Structure 1
């Protein structure tokens, strides 16, 4: 099926760098029958951190969202 983007559904203690993990959900947007909603945990606060803080935390790197043409901290 076709899925929506992940949406953070819980509290995220940080605002940048993908330094924290929060609950998230996504829904099936296609017409396929039996296509369930799913839950997961994933990075939150994916905006780039301003200097002098490191731009992204841990294994995350500066990445480009081709649709929005904006940068975020994504998997390396």
Structure 2
């Protein structure tokens, strides 16, 4: 009898996990198995071995950012679970653009990302573009444009540079 209970214990945990996953699937947008299979990369499919890994499985699924989970099969010892990424999520950032200037932090550059599957009912949070200052080399003066930001023209050994002034009391 104890052996039977020992064998059924992992199955009960798997059934509970399957029920939770099924409820989560019903709470999210309806996704057919065909659509889910097309959306899931092979890297996103996790096989959960026995109930002792249920906590690990839940953590792994949470780490993928999955909002929908599809249970694809279950035996007394294993359950295959596919994590379907959110239909509305950001792509990876694209590389930074070239800097618009070469010195004095006078330049800017930007990078972009795309909201995947954006629609009126699916809006990605945050911005699609980031911008930052660039061109941190020392500017030789005179130059085609003035020093920018809080940089000032300075004469050092008869060479002019755009430099950041030293705050009062620190030099």
TM-score by length of 1: 0.38
Normalized per residue, the structure richer in strand is 1
Bigger radius of gyration: 2
TM-score by length of 2: 0.20
Normalized per residue, the structure richer in helix is 2
Q: Tell which has more relative contact order, 1 or 2 (C-alpha 8 A, sep 6+).
A: 1
